[in-house]
Amino acid sequence: MLPWNVHPPARFTGPAFFMAVAFLLAASILPPAACAAPLSDHQATLSALSDVQAAIAEIVGADQSYSTDKKVYYRASQRAINALEGTRGPEYVAAAGSAGDAAGAIGHIDSLLDRKETPVWAPVLDSAEANIRAAIAHLADARHAHELMDYDIAVSRALTYLLVARGGPADIGAFGGLEGVLANTVLGVPDGATIADGCAEPTAAPSYGVHGGYLAWVAVPAGEGTHQLAESAGEQSVIIRNGMILLPTAAAPLVAKECNSHAQVRPSSPSQATATATLSQPAKTTASGADSAPPALYTKAQAEAGAQVFASKCALCHGANLQGTAAPSVAGTDFLSTAQHNGWTLEVIRYLVFNDMPFNAPASLSSTEYADVLAFLLASNCYPAGDKPFPTADDPGFANVKLGPVPGSHPGKNQFGVCPDG
C-alpha cells in the first residue's frame, strides 16, 4: 500500500463552501498569462494555490502510474519542485519542465509578502511558504531515492507539508494555508468585485463583506434552483435573507467579535488578529507573535491543588518533573513542540485527561480534581494564570485553543522548558 492512500486524494476543489466561493470567481481562475503586468493579490494567491495543486497532482499522478521506471518518479519530483519554487529557485531544473508557472508558488507568495504592512493573511502565507520549503526538501530527497519505498516515504512527507500549505477554507489560523486565506481574507475577493462592510448586512449581491482584512461573508443572489452544499465546512451555514443567500466564512465569528468590541477597526497586525484564535504562532512567525498574550484559563490556586493531584495520581508514569518515565512528557519543550506539530488543541488534551486518565483507572477522579490537574499542566507549560478558574465542564471554545510554545520570556523555566512554578 502506498502511503498517500491514507490521505485524501488531491483535488483542485476544496470543500463545498470553497466551491461556492470559487464559483463566483470562476472567471478569474485562469492560468496567469505570461504578461508583464503584475498580478493582483487575488490572482497571485490563486496562482500560488494552483502551483501547489499542480505539484500535488504531479506526484500523485506518478504514484498512480504504477510505473516501474524510476525516471518517471524522479521527473515527477523535479516537476513538482519546479512548480513550487519557480525558475529562480536553487533546486529548479529546466529540463524537467514545470507542473506550474514560471513564478512558482514561492514566487507568488514572496510577491504578496513583499510589502511594508503586515496584513492578517501574512502569517498564514508565511507558514504556507515554510511548509512548501519543507516539502521541497523532501522532494529533493525523493529525486535520489534508491528504491520505490524510499521514494514513497520522502514523497509522502512532502505531501503532508503540501496539504498543510494548501490548507482548508474552514481554518482561519496558520493551518488555513492558501485555501484558508482565499476563503477568509481579502485575498479571496476577486478583482473588481463589490466590497461591503463585513460588520453590516449585505445590501446587494454579489458582494463581499470585509472587515479588518477578513472576509466575513459572501452574498449570492438568490434565484430559483438548487443551492446545495454537499459538505459543511467548519461553522459555515447558508443564511437566506432579503432575497439573498448569505455564506458566512470561518472568520465570521472573529469579525463579529471585533465588530462588537471595538469602535474602530483594529490595525491588522497578525499578533492581535490571531491571538483570539490561536494561543501560539507557528515557529516561523514567533518573532511577530512574541508579544501576543495567551488567554488566562485557570487560577493559581487551582494549579497548586492540581500539583498535589498530579503527584499522587500521575507522577508515577509521567514523572515528578513531567518529563515522563513509562509514559510521555506532559509539559515543556518536547510536549509543546509535539502538540504544535500534531495540531493538538486544549479540547483534545482536556478530553484525554478527563476520560482516559489515569491509564489504569480512567474517569476515576472528580471533575474538580481533573480541572485542577489541567490547571497545573497549563501552568507547567508556562500558560498564565488569571481570575477565571478552569471549568469542570467542557467548553466548546477549547477546540480553538491550539497548544504550542507560549511566546515571551518565562522566568524560572527549566532546561526542559517546564515552568515549575507556573
Which of 5, 68, 226, 228 lies at the binding interface for other proteins (CB under 8 A)? 5
Interface with other proteins, residue 231, by CB under 8 A: no
Stretch that binds other proteins, among 181-189, 202-210, 283-291, 353-361 (CB under 8 A): 353-361
Contact residue for other proteins among 344, 376, 390, 398 (CB under 8 A): 344
**Residue 315 touching other proteins (CB under 8 A):** no
Q: Would you state the cell numbers that stand for residue 235, as one nine-digit string? A: 461553522
For other proteins, the closer of residues 165 and 187 by Cβ is: 165
In this chain, which of 16, 72, 96, 153 binds other proteins, going by CB under 8 A? 153
Element (H, E) at 144: none
Q: For residue 24, what is the enclosing H or E element?
A: helix 16-24
Alpha-carbon span 209 to 218, nearest angstrom:
6
**Min separation Cβ 397 and other proteins, Å:** 18
Q: Phi/psi at 209 (nearest 5 deg)?
A: -90, 115
* Smaller CB separation from other proteins, 113 or 399: 399
Q: What is the dihedral of CA 58, 61, 66, 69, to 10 degrees?
A: -30
Answer whether 144's CB lies under 8 Å from 236's CB. Answer: no
| By CB under 8 A, residue 352 contacts other proteins | yes
**259 is a site residue for other proteins (CB under 8 A):** no
Q: Which is nearer to other proteins, 1 or 230 (CB)?
A: 1
Give the whole-angstrom CA distance, residue 270 versus residue 290: 11
Which residues lie closer than 8 Å to 157 by C-beta, 6 or more apart? 135, 138
Question: Pairing relation of β-strands 207-211 and 195-197?
Answer: parallel
Q: Which is nearer to other proteins, 208 or 310 (CB)?
A: 310
CB atoms within 10 A of CB 252: 24
Stretch that binds other proteins, among 48-56, 74-82, 177-185, 359-367 (CB under 8 A): 359-367
Q: By CB under 8 A, how many residues form the interface with other proteins?
A: 36
Q: Which part of the chain contacts other proteins (CB under 8 A), choosing from 2-10, 201-209, 297-305, 378-386?
A: 2-10
Bond preceding residue 358 cis, omega within 30 of 0 = yes
Which residues are registered as beta bridge partners of 247? 218
Q: Is 191 in the site for other proteins (CB under 8 A)?
A: no
Residue span binding other proteins (CB under 8 A) among the ranges 15-23, 248-256, 352-360, 370-378:
352-360
Q: Which of 363, 366, 367, 412 contacts other proteins by CB under 8 A?
A: 363
Residue 278's nearest CA partner among 261, 291, 266, 295 is: 295
Q: What is the DSSP letter of 332?
A: S
Q: Could you identify the residue written with the cell 520522502?
A: 154
Nearer to other proteins, 92 or 351 (CB): 351
Q: In this structure, are residues 303 and 386 in contact, taking their beta carbons and an 8 Å threshold?
A: no
Among 140, 296, 316, 399, binds other proteins (CB under 8 A): 316
Count the alpha carbons within 13 Å of 324 in the hemisphere toward its beta carbon: 11
Residues within window 324-343 making contact with other proteins, judged by CB under 8 A: 324-329, 334, 338, 341-343
Least distance from C-beta 267 to other proteins, angstroms? Answer: 35
Name beta bridge partners: 245: 220, 240
Show contacts with other proteins in window 102-121 (CB under 8 A): none
To the nearest whole angstrom, how small is the minimum distance from the Cβ of residue 105 to other proteins?
24
Minimum Å gap between C-beta 5 and other proteins is 7
Q: Which of residues 61-100 bind other proteins (CB under 8 A)?
A: none
Burial 336-346 (b: 16+ CB within 10 A, else e): beebbeeebbb
Helix (H, G, I), strand (E, B) or coil at 159: helix
List of residues contacting other proteins (CB under 8 A) = 1, 3, 5-6, 146-147, 149-150, 152-153, 156, 160, 316-317, 324-329, 334, 338, 341-344, 348, 352, 355-356, 359-364
